[in-house]
Amino acid sequence: MVLATHNKGKQREYELLSGNAPIALRGLSEFEEVPLPDEEGRTFEEIATKKARAVSMMLGVPALADDSGLAVEALNGAPGVLSARYAGESADDYQNNHKLLEEMRGRENRKATFYCAIALAKPGGLVLNYAGRCSGIILDEPAGAHGFGYDPIFYYPPLRKTFAQLSPEEKNSVSHRGQAMRKFLNDLERILTWLGDR
Amino acid sequence: MVLATHNKGKQREYELLSGNAPIALRGLSEFEEVPLPDEEGRTFEEIATKKARAVSMMLGVPALADDSGLAVEALNGAPGVLSARYAGESADDYQNNHKLLEEMRGRENRKATFYCAIALAKPGGLVLNYAGRCSGIILDEPAGAHGFGYDPIFYYPPLRKTFAQLSPEEKNSVSHRGQAMRKFLNDLERILTWLGDR
């Protein structure tokens, strides 16, 4: 199935997460240029569902889409579905992290939750949804070089490290995306049957 | 299919919403006492999915579950998944509305969004998810006698009325639950095929 993302960080994590499963995930880059729908939906589930449905229809193959983001309690859930472009339309990870640290300067409540919504669509068919979440603390400054996005400033108390200080395997074992993907993989046998039906 | 709820207000809205569809919704009260799982999940989707899966497994029939709630911006998304028991475990609508009005006293930002997550499970099978949302304003005092839950204090600007001042049909035409249910009904033909498969 095609993984409906242009995000290399997400693609690496999905390849690792699906390593032993009897499915082959192919990135969008292997297909001709596919424009993703605008990320106008307000919830992670909505956006992932729209993406999966649009890509599976355009390409005529099953499509798995992921919409994820960080919701910070003191910021009323921001950056939320705008996580990837918090500092602007073409912002990179550094700029987004910088903006979030500025917004959080001096705030006492530093609780935040990463959310991940996965949607699987088959062409003209129904959509399956899976979700995961992981809570932690926003640090005052970045630490660690692994991962992507807000990983360097997201401290995960049970492991006493930021997500960027964890190996990819360690991150996947606890992360929002790892949890959502494990739910997906738990259903895999039934999913493959469903994909094979008419 | 069985509608996995003990909430009479939800049941009435689903009966109205599914009026012309070729499905029959039967309330949980028509079955022997079925304990619903604890509402421990943190997102509406998670809770609806858990409910639908548990009830369909216990009864051996397809189950539709709804988890809904009101997220108030100034309260960081509260009462959220705790909407039904905001004022305590056995709180009624009056007590919940009263508590929310107290929490909102003197606050300028009165924006709030109703969310509805629907999950449909078949026994031992996959789960389908649908969602809807509707944004409005929390009033200073209740108005209207229709609906249930927070409807009397939720003002919907496009119609210049609270949800409790709308007829059931008017509310369903714009509400979070109406939107989620219309997405469900749009997929109905494929859903019925899916329910009929092995």
Q: Which of A126, A128, A131 comes nearest B45 by C-beta?
A: A131
Hey, what amino acid is at B116?
C
Q: Do A129 and B129 touch (CB under 8 A)?
A: yes
CA–CA separation, A11 vs A27, rounded Å?
Answer: 7
CB A96 within 8 A of CB A157: no
Residues of A in contact with B193 (CB under 8 A): 198
Does A11 have pLDDT greater than 70? yes
Q: Which of A166, A172, A171, A164 is nearest to A143 (CA)?
A: A164
B38 — contact with chain A (CB < 8 Å)?
Answer: no
B162-181 in b/e form (b: 16+ CB < 10 A) is bbbbbebebbbebbbbbbbb
Q: Which pLDDT value is given to residue A14?
A: 83
> In CATH, what is the architecture of A2-196?
Alpha-Beta Complex (3.90)
- Give the tens place of pLDDT for each residue, A96-144: 999 999 999 999 999 999 999 999 999 988 999 999 999 999 999 999 9
Question: Which residue does chain A place closest to B72, by CA atoms?
Answer: A76
- Of the candidates B8, B21, B32, B40, the one whose C-alpha atom is nearest the C-alpha of residue B120 is B21
User: pLDDT grade, residue A1 (50/70/90)?
Assistant: confident
The residue among A48, A160, A176 whose CA lies nearest residue B42 is A176
Give the mean pLDDT of B43-52: 91
Residue of B38, B66, B67, B151 marked active site: B67
The answer to whether A59 and A31 have CB atoms below 8 angstroms apart is yes
A77 part of contact set with chain B, CB < 8 Å: yes
pLDDT for A21 equals 78
Which of B42, B127, B131 is closest, CB to CB, to A45?
B131
Q: Give the A:B interface size as CB pairs under 8 Å.
A: 50
The pLDDT, as a whole number, for residue B41 is 56
pLDDT tens digits, B9-31: 778 888 888 877 787 888 777 77
DSSP state of B163: G
What percent of chain A has pLDDT above 70?
Answer: 94
In degrees rounded to 5, what are phi and psi of residue A197?
-70, 140
Nearest CA in chain B to A133: B42
**DSSP code string of A40-88:** --SSHHHHHHHHHHHHHHHHSS-EEEEEEEEEEGGGTT-BGGGGGGTT-
- Asked if residues B115 and B43 have their Cβ atoms less than 8 Å apart, the reply is no
Average pLDDT over residues A163-192: 92
Q: Does B191 reach chain A within 8 Å, measured CB to CB? A: yes
Q: Residue B130 has what pLDDT? A: 95
Q: What are the sequence ranges of the domains in chain A?
A: 2-196
Contacts of A125 in chain B (CB under 8 A): 190
Contact A190 B73 (CB under 8 A): no
Contact list, B125 vs chain A (CB under 8 Å): 190
Question: Does B118 reach chain A within 8 Å, measured CB to CB?
Answer: no
Contacting residues of B for A187, CB less than 8 Å apart: 126
**Hey, which residues does A138 pair with through a beta bridge?**
A154
A144 CB near a chain B CB, below 8 Å?
A: no
pLDDT at B40 over 90: no
Res B43 pLDDT > 80: yes
Per CB-CB distance under 8 Å, the chain B contacts of A117 are 45
Helix (H, G, I), strand (E, B) or coil at A134: strand
In this prediction, residue B39 has a pLDDT band, given cuts at 50, 70 and 90, of low
Quick one: residue A124, left, alpha or beta (phi over 0 = left, psi -120 to 50 = alpha)?
Answer: left
How many Å lie between the alpha carbon of B94 and the closest alpha carbon of chain A? 26
Distance CA A163, CA A174 (A): 10
Chain A residue closest in CA terms to B124:
A190
Q: Contact, A100 vs A114, CB < 8 A?
A: no
- What integer pLDDT is reported at residue B112 of this predicted model? 95
In this structure, of A35-39, A104-108, A180-184, the range with the lowest mean pLDDT score is A35-39
d(CA A63, CA A50): 11
Q: Does B195 touch chain A (CB under 8 A)?
A: no
Spell B96-128 as b/e; 16+ CB within 10 A means b.
bbbebeeebeeeeebebbbbbbbbbbbeebbbb
Question: What distance in Å separates the CA atoms of residue A96 and residue A84, rounded to the nearest whole number?
Answer: 7
Distance from CA of A123 to the nearest CA of B (A): 12
Q: What is the mean pLDDT of residues A174-188?
A: 92
Q: Active-site residue B67, yes or no?
A: yes
> A76 and chain B: CB distance < 8 Å anywhere?
yes
pLDDT by residue (tens digit) across A57-104? Answer: 888 888 999 899 999 989 988 999 999 999 999 899 999 999 999 999
- Residue A103's Cβ-count burial label (10 Å; 0-12, 13-18, 19+) is middle
Alpha carbon distance A25, A13 (integer Å): 11
pLDDT at residue B136, as a whole number: 96
Q: Give A17→chain B minimum CA distance, Å.
A: 20
Task: State both tokens at B116.
Answer: 């509805």
pLDDT at B128: 96
User: Residues B73-99: pLDDT tens digits?
Assistant: 899 889 999 999 999 998 999 999 999
What is the model's pLDDT at position A33? Answer: 65
Q: 3-class DSSP state for residue A142?
A: coil
Interchain contact B183–A (C-beta under 8 A): no
Question: B186: Cβ–Cβ under 8 A, 6 or more apart, which residues?
Answer: none
Specify the pTM.
Answer: 0.84
- Residues from chain A that touch B45, judged by Cβ atoms under 8 A, are 45, 117, 129, 131
Give the pLDDT score at B21: 78
- For residues B8 and A28, give the distance between their C-alpha atoms in angstroms, rounded to a whole number: 46
ipTM, 2 dp: 0.77
B77 Cβ neighbours under 8 A, 6+ residues apart: A76, A77, B71
Q: How confident is the model at residue B113 (pLDDT cuts 50, 70, 90)?
A: very high
- DSSP lists the bridge partners of residue A127 as A121
Going from the C-alpha of B178 to that of each of A141, A169, B18, B61, B82, the distances in angstroms are 44, 42, 10, 24, 21
Mean pLDDT over each residue of chain A, to the nearest integer = 89
**In the block, which residue shows the tokens 């003002």?**
B155
